[in-house]
A and B are shown apart, each in its own frame.
Chain A
Amino acid sequence: MEKFIKHTGTGTPLRRSNVDTDQIIPAVYLKRVTRSGFEDGLFAAWRNDPDFVLNNDAFKKGTILVAGADFGTGSSREHAVWALQNYGFKVVISSRFADIFRGNSLKGGLLTVILDIAEVEALWAAIEADPNTAITVDLESRRVNYGDKSLPFDIDDYTRWRLMEGLDDIGLTMKQTDSIDSFEKTRPTFKPKTLPIRS
């Protein structure tokens, strides 16, 4: 995974709340067996609307999506994260994210940043007034900086460290194989197994 330390880019204002993963990428686009090529499915239904923000040339270069509350609700599809990344987004800012989406994003290196709803509103206003507003999302100092604003955000130390090092979670867990081996010896024997098949 690519390291994430700091990203500077421009913002794309998505003034909608409850953006569910079916909107981020509808199910018909989930049939690929790769991790790439999902950008065409991103907000597929909404992109038919010429007034939709992704169709606005002023925001074409945006790499930081700024969305309303409860972003990423619904399905566990990690394709939603891949679609945002494949399209070119590096960061999503919202006042609240759905749990599974947030977990997926932080596993995959798409930084999800939680700001107050009032701060999101102010950021929307700034981007809409000047789409070229430079926004820096600094994971090291845990701050979003734009104009004369410097907004702190929360992220737990462990996740921050893992993202800044670009570490693969599986590799980290593999180092604990001994603990997993000994745990397995303590499991009750009546716990179900899928093999051999009983019917």
Chain B
Amino acid sequence: MGKTLAEKIWAEHVVRQVEGEPDLLYIDLHLIHEVTSPQAFDGLRLTNRKVRRADLTIATEDHNVPTLNIDKPIADPVSKLQVDTLRANCKEFGIRIHSLGDKDQGVVHVVGPQLGITQPGMTIVCGDSHTSTHGAFGALAFGIGTSEVEHVLATQTLPLQRPKTMAINIEGSLKPGVTSKDIILAVIAKIGTGGGQGYVIEYRGSAIRALSMESRMTVCNMSIEAGARAGLIAPDQTTFDYIKGKPHAPEDFDAAVAYWSPLFTDKDAQFDAEVSLDASELEPFVTWGTNPGQGLPLSGKVPNPAEITDTEARSAAERALVYMGLEAGTSLKSIAIDTVFLGSCTNGRIEDLRAAAEILKGKKIASTLRMLVVPGSARVRLEAEAEGLDKTFIDAGAEWRNAGCSMCLGMNPDQLAVGERSASTSNRNFEGRQGKGGRTHLVSPLVAAATALRGTLSSPADL
């Protein structure tokens, strides 16, 4: 029987396989950042262990860093200590780091692909659950905890139980104004936040093939929001073209393409589960609740918990509506927004900024809200400035910031106030995620931009 893509990559990386034990898997690339690594380096020091492969490891500062005044010392002393600790650890162990002010600083999942070190067929890990982003290249990429960060630093391997595989088939063409963000929000609404648990998801079908690399990254990025540790897409010409010319693209590109080309699921391979979606039926999507599975087409209404039959889902919906300050039956498009956040590892790449800028060009955002535009990396920021996008955003009344995770997780000063409501291109609408008491609606960059202009949740078609 044939193999799925995930099974092929897995098999290529097994260092040791023993019945009754997890497989020992080799890790091709380890990305690190300031929040989930300090205790791992401490562990190495305590046990007198070294970093096995500094040349397969790269660090950047993203989670807690400010997006304003980055030329000045970090004002929050605890954040500063964490960043200083990362810098000292990288120096001590000889690890490459891209610090604030460097053109390759930025959200770790934007940095890997832009450097060309994210390539098909690799195993990639990072102490961050959105590592699945790199799966867009046909890599097996997943988030790990700090104990595992230490394990990879010391051994360049991880003991892992083999996951099950799930195919998500998305056929058909997207309507104008519908994006890959809407695809993944619709997938999560369909299978639920636990639907992908224990699986690696492979996104397949004509709608996926038609996506750009950056749009594919948005889809794979949110696999974890459906409970799957990893999500991937078979590499194709779109993938190869994207990597070509990047700083760390293979020098022997033909040899690499020859290795990458068989990386697809065999015709006779069996997935453990399959889900299908029709792309042509999708509409711009938005979340109304406090987990990413609580989403609906933007043309819909806030659901009535009384109509939900599953008791657990009903009580979750009741709690969510209280937290979100929403009444059942309210039209989603009538919900007024205080802050629009454009950025994050989900939607902070150049295509996302271009798409939003096109809608904002020559217009002004509503006077009732603020809009933060946070490029995914310093390189994306420079690219956007070269295209004049910064001017478009500033002229429209938005704030043009430096790169980082920013308001996606509210670990730096970019936070929502209590009761404040955002339309956010990020990945999680959990209670308090963007700031204590803040209320988040997850949206695509197009919906974010249209919402900024109208002041209420809107799609470009409403303009």
Contacts and interface: CB of A to CB of B under 8 A. Distances in A.
Interface of A: 16-18, 20, 22-23, 26-28, 30-35, 45, 68-70, 73-79, 81, 96, 98-100, 103-104, 107-108, 117, 156-158, 169-170, 172-174, 176-177, 179-180, 183-184, 187-195, 197-199
B378 to A, nearest CB: 12
A174 B81 contact: no
24 contacts: A18-B290, A33-B82, A33-B85, A35-B39, A45-B436, A75-B409, A76-B129, A77-B35, A100-B129, A100-B224, A100-B229, A156-B161, A170-B150, A173-B151, A180-B24, A180-B26, A180-B156, A183-B15, A184-B156, A187-B26, A192-B29, A194-B56, A194-B96, A194-B117
B155 A31 contact: no
A180 B155 contact: yes
Nearest to B259: A188
Closest 6 CB pairs of A and B: A104-B145, A78-B145, A33-B38, A76-B143, A190-B250, A27-B411
B92 interface: no
Contacts of A96: 194, 197
Contacts of B193: 18, 70, 73
Given A27-B409, A170-B49, A197 B96 contact: yes
B172 interface: no
Contacts of B138: none
Interface string B162-178: 00000000000000000
B431 A45 contact: yes
A197 B21 CA distance: 37
Contacts of A195: 54-55, 96
B15 A179 contact: yes
Given A76-B128, A81-B145, A30 B39 contact: no
Contacts of A103: 144-145, 148
Contacts of B56: 193-194
A70 B20 CA distance: 27
Given A18-B193, A76-B145, A192-B29, A30 B411 contact: yes
B248 A26 contact: no
B146 interface: yes
Contact of B227 (A28, A73, A199): A73
Contact of A170 (B63, B64, B116, B154): B154
A174 B155 contact: yes
A173 B155 contact: yes
Given A78-B145, A174-B155, A192-B250, A16 B55 contact: no
A156 B19 CA distance: 12
A83 to B, nearest CB: 13
B235 to A, nearest CB: 14
Contact of B433 (A22, A33, A158): A22
Where chain B touches its partner, the secondary structure class is loop
B255 interface: yes
Contacts of A78: 36, 39, 127, 145-147
B312 interface: yes
Contacts of A117: 312
A20 B248 contact: no
Contacts of A191: 28, 119, 122
A63 to B, nearest CB: 22
B159 interface: yes
Interface residues of B, number: 87
B256 to A, nearest CB: 5
B62 interface: no
Given A20-B428, A73-B193, A176-B16, 16 more contacts: A17-B316, A31-B79, A33-B85, A69-B312, A70-B194, A77-B145, A100-B143, A100-B145, A174-B154, A176-B15, A177-B155, A187-B26, A188-B256, A191-B122, A194-B117, A198-B247
Contacts of B352: none
A68 to B, nearest CB: 7
B460 interface: no
Contacts of A158: 20-22
Given A100-B145, A192-B29, A16 B319 contact: yes
Contacts of B227: 70, 73, 98-99
B55 A194 contact: yes
Nearest to A16: B319
B147 A33 contact: no
A180 B158 CA distance: 11
A107 B145 contact: yes
A40 to B, nearest CB: 13
Contacts of A31: 35, 64, 76, 78-79, 81-82, 411
A169 B39 contact: no
Nearest to A70: B194
B119 A75 contact: no
A169 B147 contact: yes
Contact of A179 (B24, B64, B122, B315): B24
B198 interface: yes
Interface in B253-280: 255-256, 259
Most buried by A among B21, B49, B255: B21
B398 to A, nearest CB: 24
Contacts of B144: 76, 100, 103
B252 interface: yes
B104 interface: yes
B239 interface: no
Given A33-B38, A190-B252, A191-B119, A173 B145 contact: no
A179 B117 contact: no
B430 interface: yes
A103 B315 CA distance: 28
Given A26-B436, A69-B312, A157 B39 contact: no
Given A20-B291, A22-B428, A183 B255 contact: no
Contacts of A104: 145-148
A170 B47 contact: yes
